[in-house]
Structure 1
Amino acid sequence: MSFAFICHHNSFLIYDSLKEPTLSNWAHVTHVSVSFAVFVSLVFATCGYVTFRGYTEGDIFENYCSDDDLATFGRFCYGITVILTFPIECFVTREVLANVFFSGKLTTVWHAILTVIVVVIAMSISLVYDCLGIVLELNGVLSATPLIFILPAACYLRLSEEQRTHPDNLLSSLILAIGVLVMVVGFVMTVLRPQECVHGKEMPYCFPGNSSLYNNTPLYNNTPP
């Protein structure tokens, strides 16, 4: 969540796309969009956990049985959404390549060629690996945490002319310490306990006679009773 919401790589492109790119408009857009995203995430997480309890997966679609037509339609809609959203994630890479190798000036032909190359390479790599959860986890602890907590706090402490006991310096020191702790603990936990994938695996309650199995599952236990 930290990496996605705070270190969004499309921030500058989105800011420049505003009709009136002012700080007040930018604040309004970011607060509304992030608040809506958090609300949707909480609704899905709560509904998923209340329904499946200890069997709840990070990808809620993995909890539905293969013969559930409504869930299959949901997967189809989600796939269309990803197909239409995925190229946006490659725009920043294309922008960097255009600035480095073409001085920021691309013809229409090279614009299309470079876009296709970036999308195809990223898609090819993703198709080789089934579980990419560890990538997001490492991005969060090694990229988001330093950018959000460690570097800003360290820069403030370095440039501050106030005494070390000043409340702002104490708060910055606390944020810095928490950031270092989160980064170290998060990295160790990610390496020692990597996220497992169950793509395509049928849950026990999908089999005949076990339809109500998940109702008796302990709240904080991810293994079948």
Structure 2
Amino acid sequence: MRSIAISLLCLGCLALLGGAAHLTLRACALDLPRWMSVPGACPAPAETRQAVALARLDAQRSDLLQRIALAESQLSRLQCDAAGPDPHRALDPADWRRGDLEALYGCWDLSTGYQTRNTETGDEVGYPAWQICFDAKGNGLQKMRDMDGVACEGPVKGGFTEAGALQIEEAENLPCGDGGYIHRREFTCTATAGAASCDTLQPETGGRMAVEFRRSAREL
């Protein structure tokens, strides 16, 4: 009986040793026959590599999504303004003939003399400085300064006729800093050698004068 008990004890030890060896082999990722597989044992090397690759791709995807979100946030804060026409470009007669209002864009200085006559006293007043500045839609602002430094300022509107002539209109009399004014004028202009040659008419008084404007490098 004693020998039988010892034999059984030895068999039990062998079984424990075999189980431990089996688990050790699985932990070391050694391939075993299917009949020796144990639930919960270490995955095969191919499965491990695939899991690592999937985890790496998932991390890259998360990083890219974060970068896209950041780029979209930065883009939404950007404001893009279209570049306007060059205010100093030479006058192009072709643009003028097409009636392109951008041909007026920028400031224009009087390059000839200009005088007005006081309807009450008959005195003539000379204006050595007269500038008209237009936006790209033909809306403008004119500034005049007489010999005594008195300034007159007000809006104008430019537009082209079907015949290709430029018409500039004042909505009302042009007010001046000394309390006086210049009677409302109408301009009819043509493009000649890089300049705008204009005939001015004061409908209320019938006064007329020819003047010329050229592009200016600065505003008054």
Which of the five TM-score ranges fits, normalised by the shorter chain? under 0.3
Larger strand share, 1 or 2: 2
Larger RCO: 1 or 2 (CA < 8 Å, sep 6+):
1
Larger radius of gyration: 2
Larger helix share, 1 or 2: 1
